[in-house]
Homo-oligomer: A and B are copies of this chain.
Amino acid sequence: MDLRFTEEHERFRAELRGWLERNLERPWIEELRDPANDEDSLFEKRRAWQRKLNEAGYLGMDWPREWGGRGATAVEKAIFTEETYRLDTPPIPNVLGISLLGPALIHHGSEEQRRRFIPKMLSGEEIWCQGFSEPDAGSDLAALRTRAEPDGEHFRLHGQKVWTTFGPWADWIFVLARTDATDRYGGITFFLVPLHQKGVEVRGIRQISGESEFGEVFFDGALARREHIVGRIGEGWRIAMTVLSYERGAMSLAYPAQYDGYLADVVEGCRENGTVTRADVRERLGRLLVENEVMRANGLRNLAIIASGRAPGPEASIEKLYWSEYAKRLADAALDLLGPQAQLKVRAPHARPEMDWAYEALWCRAGTIYAGSSEIQRNIIAKRVLKLPVAG
């Protein structure tokens, strides 16, 4: 057993920290608080930060060199996200493109597709959004109904996609669409589709926090070119499922690091309002501290397993269930312990300077819903790990 990082890992972390200190102008929360910013300017700051990261070679680190990779390991990727979360750096806009589409192109795409799309995806020149979910295909993704109808050698898309992160700013979308209505899984194909064309309408979806980071994309005869199919026709489901597993471990250290920061703000607030010595407050803080350290223990174990080259088992579902449910307890505690101040919107007078609890109190509710709800994760654990029989 050895839960230490290797010397190379530590060297990588040191070099990364140095780079971040030199290059990060200010933590993201200060951008959010800055009244000069609106959703568009914030988006451009995210894009600029992505460009910087890319020029420094921190994106697609584990890809082949020719595609911007540097042969990084899963552990180094985890250290990268950990450090960026710890320092509250701007979230990059092409996060889904790089984590999902990139691997899809590298493993299943054509040489031409890689050359055409990867560089601009990494640089942020072209913004990608993900077109998987639909209004009636969320937890049950394979129920997707968006049709790709043959039109000469190409296809025409008809249907609707939702939860397309950054949809309103995206240039391209990677889409799962039906090329065969009769085959639930084998009838799905993976398309790359430009959004700036006739037959595409993008609408922002307003979140309960007021922002519109998400979008809906409506296809009404939009052109999907044959050469922009990733893999073969009917391979879409298999490709989507495999790429969803490539990011294993990438967040294993990031969430505990992020919640360290959140928790530190609660502690600081309790010091300010003089309740940090109160036994009920300490019991609450103690459990939050304990549960976050346990999350980190899970993460280290998860990474160790990945590093040892073995396929992770229930870890992914447990990790998702754990951090998303923990985030709710943490936000509830913050609002209880910090009082009204924690409810103030980020730009309000007296708002806590280092943490936007008003946003987190709402955002944490999304965590147990997106990317496989807590219910779906529990189903997976019950069936795949505990091998409990299917109902009925």
A-side residues, CB < 8 A to B, are: 278-283, 391-392
List of B residues within 8 angstroms of A283 by Cβ: 280, 283
- The complex places the Cα of A278 from the Cα of B282 at a distance, in Å, of 11
Expressed in whole angstroms, the minimum distance between the Cβ of A273 and any Cβ of chain B is 14
Contacts of A279 in B (CB 8 A): 278-281
A270 CB → nearest B CB, Å = 12
Which residue, A278, A280, A281, A282, has most C-beta atoms of chain B within 10 A?
A: A280
What residues of B have a CB within 8 angstroms of the CB of A392 in the complex?
391-392
Subset of 11 A-B contacts with CB under 8 Å: A278-B279, A279-B279, A279-B280, A279-B281, A280-B280, A280-B282, A280-B283, A283-B283, A391-B391, A391-B392, A392-B392
Contacts of A280 in B (CB 8 A): 279-280, 282-283
Q: A279-B279, A280-B282, A280-B283 are in contact. List 7 more A-B contacts (CB 8 A).
A: A278-B279, A279-B280, A279-B281, A280-B280, A283-B283, A391-B392, A392-B392
On chain B, the residues within 8 Å of A278 by CB distance are 279
Most buried by B among A278, A279, A391: A279
Residues of B within 8 A of A281 (CB): 279
Q: What is the CB-to-nearest-CB distance from A284 to chain B, in angstroms, rounded to a whole number?
A: 8
Which residues on B sit within 8 Å (CB–CB) of A282? 280
A280 to B275, CA, bound (A): 12
Q: Which residues of B contact A391 (CB under 8 A)?
A: 391-392
A392 to B278, CA, bound (A): 51
